[in-house]
Structure 1
Amino acid sequence: MKVIEIHHPYDMNQIPQEDIVLAMGFFDGVHLGHQKVIKTAKKIANEKKLKLAVMTFNQHPSIVFQKIDPDKMNYLSTLERKEELMADLEVDIFYIIEFTSSFASLPPVDFVNQYMVDLHAKVVVAGFDYTYGPKEIADMDHLPKYADNRFEVVVIEKQTTEDQKISSTRIRKELAEGNMETTNALLGYAYQVPGRVVHGDARGRLLGFPTANIQVVSGVRLPKAGIYAVKIKLGHQWHIGMASIGYNITFGDNRPMTVEVYILDFNEDIYGEQVEVAWYHHLRDELKFDSVEDLIKQLKQDELDTANYFKGK
């Protein structure tokens, strides 16, 4: 897959000189609704013997429009994770547009000309709610007029489960409630968070449960605080673990939030390792224990519950 990063206005030499099918969207999380757009575009591309290109943005448009504080914007997928998922979906060209104020100010007709026609799109595929300017003049209903028979427009209707739209907003809500099974069902894969193993206070080792303290990549959304059955990727291998998102409230108040993973049947030094944590099941909320002994007893039960959860999976 060729990844092409574009800053507006771009140099035409950046653009491959071949006709494409173009799928468009922000694709935060690349969930099942997004996958429907991309897989439909892939099917059309195969039928027409064209390359499949996907276009996304480097940041959420709401940041430029000052609707969201960039420091408070937590994504379901980093750009690196999006690239992985796009490659899995057999995308040929992945355009990442730097969403700036100058890009955002493009009139709809110019956006269509420069970012659809000039990219050699013969078919443009997007969800029913995709916009490329003010909604009242730049929605999917208006796109055929701007296309002016230069490319075909394919609109993907609303994708639902349980009579609810599959959306990034819905997934964020499920994450905030710790509903990992629903989250993963909407994504079509286990939700993953990247990070690096750093030194913590080593309290877990003293308790008999040495944990990897994970410094999560900034700007990534975490599930709600609690204890989870997870898998952690070290190098190319996945290991079963139980993870804690919380504040270690048994050991005092006003403590910083930490993400820690106890890896079952594992005893290696992994400081500095880049890891991925895949979240599968919320075991329980974070609890404040009256004694260290009570905490250790619960951790042993958590370990058993984690092993049982993954048994046979």
Structure 2
Amino acid sequence: MSAMTRSAVPALPTIAITMGDPAGIGPEIIMKALARPDVHALCNPLVVGDAARLRRAAAITGVTLPVVALEDATEARFPQKAVQCLDLKVTPEDLPFGQVSAAGGEAAYRCVEKAAALVLSGVVQAICTAPLNKEALHAAGHKFPGHTELLAHLTGTPEVSMMLTSPKLRVIHVTTHIGLLDAIEKIEPGLVERVITRGHDVLVKAGIANPKIGVCAINPHAGENGLFGRGEEAVKITPAVAACRAKGWDVHGPLPADTLFFLAGRGDYDLVVAMYHDQGHGPIKVLGLEAGVNVTVGLPVIRTSVDHGTAFDIAGTGVADERSLIEALRQAVDLAPR
């Protein structure tokens, strides 16, 4: 970068930040994050949500940054010492913080829907999502397990994967929001290979030429040659690893998950492939919610998210930590097309 002339420095990407469930901590962490000058030096942040709710969040958190309500995303002006908000007017004025409601779920859905349209039309370069509440989303009639599946639906993508990242660890999931028995049944070689492929491709695009990938087993000690489990590793995982290695990729497994996460945490692997939700989420969250970022891999758009929920128990108090949102914005900038 130092060798580039000022005119050659690429323009900052515009990132659509969805407000999430307005009854959660989304509006507060957005206002706290956008009050930091270093965030505006990183990207052009465009909030897709409700200007009145953001102003209320600003009052709660003590943020003095004004909120500009926009009717059209193309009206946004950067840089400005103000929050640029595409105002969808989707939140009832009297909606309380900290409570599940259909109104909150509908507002969150509308924000994601609009952000997806903006990025597909090229108005913005990536999406960064504040948290929504699954129960509220369902109460509003939108029967999706979460952001990942919702964005896949909105973009017409048949299959995506969830990747969690932290400064020390990256984890991509073969299955996510389904029960453990259903997850084990769903895992099969074709799915495992496709997930490994998506993880490999996104790391190559991020500049890691030949990423080292470790693939978790399902059973303790990777089944111990059939001693534990019913041979799931040999049937469901090993063929996928072999297929990826045949492409010349540096893929290893199935490996005992406990050992693999230790090795990856110290830097021996660039990516861990987890078989089910808690196998992958647990290690990331032990490292700290403030550092975790959720990346949806396989969409035609870049989407990152905080790695925490709506935190209804503290919503409206102003104490929510904005650091995970800032990290999610950094990841969105790194992955966004120029």
TM-score (norm 1): 0.29
Q: Which has the higher strand share?
A: 1
Please say which structure displays the higher CA radius of gyration.
Answer: 1
